[in-house]
Structure 1
Amino acid sequence: MIELIDRLKGDKVIWAIVALLALFSFMPVFSASSNLAYMRHGSGNAVTYLLKHLLHVLVGFFIIYRVHKLPYHYFKRISQMALPVVWVLLAYTLFKGTVIDGANASRWIKVPFIGVSFQTSTLAAIVLYVYVASYLSKPKDKVDNFQVSLLKLWAPVFITIMLILPANLSTAALIFSMVLMITFIGKYPLKYIGVILGIGAISLTFFILVAIAFPKAFHNRVDTWISRVENFTSDKPTEDDYQIEKAKIAIASGGVYGLGPGKSVQKNFLPQSSSDFIFAIIVEEYGLLGALTIMGFYLLLLFRFIVAAHKANSMFGKLLVVGLGFPIVFQAMINMAVAVELFPVTGQTLPLISSGGSSVWMTCIGVGIILSVTKKDEEIAQDLADEQKRKDALQKIIDKQLLEDEEEERRNEEEDYSITDNPMNAVLNKK
């Protein structure tokens, strides 16, 4: 075990938090999956879902391990080559997506031969964040003007978001917000960011108006967005209200200490209890203390990301940590906020805890890249420490040699004195 831990490079605190969240996830996922097992198989045996989640987590940690071994500057080129591939996948998903548990049909595609469903927007987000970080990390003497940056930076951003937006507004909004944050930290001019915000607002308004005017022209979920916002601000009962009400009942039932692991009642009534609304099940079973503990882990993870970004020795490394780390924490906060009705229903999972292969794996890719950045910083720090040790060792050798030379010189002086200055020697020499 110690040998295995020694092979894990990078920030050990990030490793520990990710591992703890993943280990904890087995209990609520196993508990919340019982209603799915009952509905599908009639037995209520959730072991199949537990084993499936175990496979997802094991593959996820294998991904983290392999990714964090790569030098993080490799991902500059990888993101540039992956963007066109991501656009093709997003377009295919938009028109040929599959239904998952009765949810929206244009978010997932089914991978041939292995039968695994994959949410392409999660991969697109990672590739886009890395691409934006690589663009903004260019030396200041090679910075493009606004017109050139519109083509090289913002055109890929808007193409990616346009392919996600019709099926998933919350993910598109989160991606756009994170890109703006990366550009702000990357010292992209504020006046240009303001222009981009205006372009984004006008484009979204135009898209909504076209979708309302021609509802059958192309696939979109504009009606769903509008109804969710209206339902969030009104008292009219809807399906989303049903989910929120069940989530709030679960949270209220948990109290301070919770009902205990596996003793949730609302998991039998709450749709998506093992994914989108798993936080409500956590609070019901583990109480306020459990909820605060989970929130504390995510906040600690955010703190470690800030530390890692501060320690990164390059602008690209800093932007990678910010662009890939902060969305994990922000997504977690959005998921929790939806469960307590601070936000409308968005469909965002709880990172590293909710069930689902693609969400777990994409989060693990992001964590792996962040660990690659911290690993490089550790290697640089280790090289500096080794260099200092070599300098200290060399200095000791030099000091020792100087002492020996001084001692030799002193002995020679004493010998010369004994030969030339000793009076007895002078008498002997005359005889």
Structure 2
Amino acid sequence: MIAASRLRVAALWRGLDRTLIFIVLSLIGVGLTLSLAAGPAAAERLALDDPFYFLTRHAAFAVAGIVLLIGTSALSITGVRRIAGLALIGSLGLMALLPLIGNEINGAIRWIRFGSFGLQPSEFLKPAFIVIIAWLFAEESRGAPVPGRLIALLIYAVSVGLLIIQPDFGQTILLSVIFGAMLFAAGLPWIYTAGLGVAGGGLLMIAYFSLDHVQARIAAFLAPQAEWAQTERARQAFAEGGLFGVGPGEGEIKRLLPEANTDFVFSVAAEEFGLLASLAIIGLFAILFAQAWTRALRLTDHFAQLATAGLALLFGFQALINIAVNLNLIPPKGMTLPFISYGGSSMLALCFSAGLMLALTRHRPGAYEHRS
């Protein structure tokens, strides 16, 4: 019995993409390093007794996330679909309850408090949404009597509606871009995809003219006051860091940024470790995206292919948005840098996403096309 179990574990390990595992673990390691750099300043700003409060919690979430990643990566294709369905129902249900039981932070109700842990259901919505949408598209494409695109559109509408109520326009934009890309990948003509893009742009315009806080955020981005604007301070970190950085723990910008260990952790990396370290982080995300996308293209199962591509887009676009905010290219979105920013829900959900991707791309007989 023990020998058989060891053989199954060995077979699972051999089938996993080692490059994806290495990149994810490397990003988690980078996050712990930057948490050590930025965490004490955040703890000091909040008058916490323990200067390593955020590092300790970050490490605990990282360990729990890795365990979740390993467990999820062992799932079958059917298991991936089932657990994603449960996660989708659960996250949508909790998001619907947020106005009643949610915890308000900075004017947004996105978290449910469980003791010292704040659960953000929308983080788990993203991978679950991607997998289920991919399954619906695949079912329709193979001729199943299921209006896959229509059901997918309804799920998207409900998801976006609940995100806007919070409000969380950053996640709304991210989910919308991924949904449009998956529609196109599933065979929707580009003219219809472009039409959906125009409709999305129209909704953003409506949001701008009807919601005061959206106008205020964009106005602050377009005409910032350098002495207090977060994005201006974040951009300053790149100038201060230069090529090699000022040294670990020597940065000053992190003491001025309220979210230095979360939204603006990339700026901490730029100041203390320099441009080369920043480019290395970008390179890790590029390799993660390219490897996942390449594996997706080689898969023969249409559902696994679409889901893997969608998850790759999740990692790529979320990293791109966070880095663009740090470079003051777009307004702040409150979006974490995958696997690096401090945040329990984010770490667990992203490790769950990575586990799903590893399960979908795990080598199985007949799962891949043979290409010379």
- TM-score, structure 1 normalization: 0.77
| Map of 1:226 onto structure 2 | 215
Q: 1:259 to 1:65 in 2, by over 3 A?
A: same
Give the C-alpha shift of residue 165 in structure 1: 1.6
| Map of 2:3 onto structure 1 | none
| Map of 2:185 onto structure 1 | 185
Q: Following the alignment from structure 1 to structure 2, what is the Cα–Cα distance between the partners of residues 201 and 315?
A: 30
The structure with more radius of gyration: 1
* Preserved contact between residue 301 and residue 367 of structure 2 (Cα < 8 Å): no
Question: 1:229-378 maps to which residues of 2 (within 5 A)?
Answer: 229-235=218-224, 237=225, 242-375=229-362, 378=363
| Map of 1:118 onto structure 2 | 119
| Map of 1:215 onto structure 2 | none
| Map of 1:35 onto structure 2 | 41
In structure 1, runs of 5+ residues without a counterpart are 213-221, 386-431
Give the C-alpha shift of residue 175 in structure 1: 0.3
Q: Secondary structure at the match of 2:350?
A: helix
The one-letter code sitting in structure 2 at the alignment partner of 1:232 is F
- Are positions 1:108 and 2:111 aligned together? yes
* Preserved contact between residue 243 and residue 276 of structure 2 (Cα < 8 Å): yes
Give the C-alpha shift of residue 97 in structure 1: 2.2
The one-letter code sitting in structure 1 at the alignment partner of 2:28 is A
Q: 1:206 to 1:283 in 2, by over 3 A?
A: closer
Q: Secondary structure at the match of 1:137?
A: helix
* Preserved contact between residue 298 and residue 368 of structure 2 (Cα < 8 Å): no
Q: Secondary structure at the match of 1:261?
A: coil
Give the C-alpha shift of residue 198 in structure 1: 5.1
Question: Residue deviations 1:114-162, cap 9 Å, x none?
Answer: 54101111111122111110011126352679xx556412111111111
Q: Secondary structure at the match of 1:341?
A: coil
Give the C-alpha shift of residue 278 in structure 1: 0.3
* From 16, 21, 30, the counterpart of 2:27: 21
Q: Secondary structure at the match of 1:380?
A: coil
* Bigger RCO (CA 8 Å, 6+ sep): 2
Q: 1:96 to 1:11 in 2, by over 3 A?
A: same
Give the C-alpha shift of residue 364 in structure 1: 0.6
In structure 2, runs of 5+ residues without a counterpart are 1-6
* Preserved contact between residue 30 and residue 46 of structure 1 (Cα < 8 Å): no
The one-letter code sitting in structure 2 at the alignment partner of 1:27 is T
Give the C-alpha shift of residue 6 in structure 1: 7.8
Q: Following the alignment from structure 1 to structure 2, what is the Cα–Cα distance between the partners of residues 141 and 38?
A: 57
Give the C-alpha shift of residue 224 in structure 1: 1.9
Q: Secondary structure at the match of 1:379?
A: coil
* Preserved contact between residue 292 and residue 312 of structure 2 (Cα < 8 Å): yes
| Map of 2:4 onto structure 1 | none
Q: Following the alignment from structure 1 to structure 2, what is the Cα–Cα distance between the partners of residues 5 and 78?
A: 23
Q: 1:82 to 1:292 in 2, by over 3 A?
A: closer
* Preserved contact between residue 87 and residue 124 of structure 2 (Cα < 8 Å): no
The one-letter code sitting in structure 2 at the alignment partner of 1:165 is I
* Preserved contact between residue 97 and residue 108 of structure 1 (Cα < 8 Å): yes
Q: Following the alignment from structure 2 to structure 1, what is the Cα–Cα distance between the partners of residues 125 and 67?
A: 21
Identity percentage of aligned residues: 25
The one-letter code sitting in structure 2 at the alignment partner of 1:130 is V
| Map of 2:69 onto structure 1 | 64
Q: Secondary structure at the match of 1:73?
A: helix
Q: 1:95 to 1:176 in 2, by over 3 A?
A: farther
Q: 1:7 to 1:72 in 2, by over 3 A?
A: closer
Give the C-alpha shift of residue 231 in structure 1: 2.1
Q: Following the alignment from structure 1 to structure 2, what is the Cα–Cα distance between the partners of residues 380 and 6?
A: 12
* Preserved contact between residue 138 and residue 186 of structure 2 (Cα < 8 Å): yes
| Map of 1:133 onto structure 2 | 134
| Map of 1:51 onto structure 2 | 56
Q: Following the alignment from structure 1 to structure 2, what is the Cα–Cα distance between the partners of residues 156 and 193?
A: 17
Q: Following the alignment from structure 1 to structure 2, what is the Cα–Cα distance between the partners of residues 298 and 196?
A: 28
Q: How many residue pairs get matched? A: 361
Q: Secondary structure at the match of 2:67?
A: helix
Q: Following the alignment from structure 2 to structure 1, what is the Cα–Cα distance between the partners of residues 12 and 86?
A: 30
Q: 1:346 to 1:238 in 2, by over 3 A?
A: farther
Give the C-alpha shift of residue 308 in structure 1: 1.1
| Map of 1:169 onto structure 2 | 169
The one-letter code sitting in structure 1 at the alignment partner of 2:156 is V
Q: Secondary structure at the match of 1:109?
A: strand
* Preserved contact between residue 133 and residue 319 of structure 1 (Cα < 8 Å): yes
Give the C-alpha shift of residue 325 in structure 1: 1.8
Q: Following the alignment from structure 2 to structure 1, what is the Cα–Cα distance between the partners of residues 100 and 208?
A: 19
CA RMSD between the two structures: 2.7
Q: Following the alignment from structure 1 to structure 2, what is the Cα–Cα distance between the partners of residues 302 and 42?
A: 38
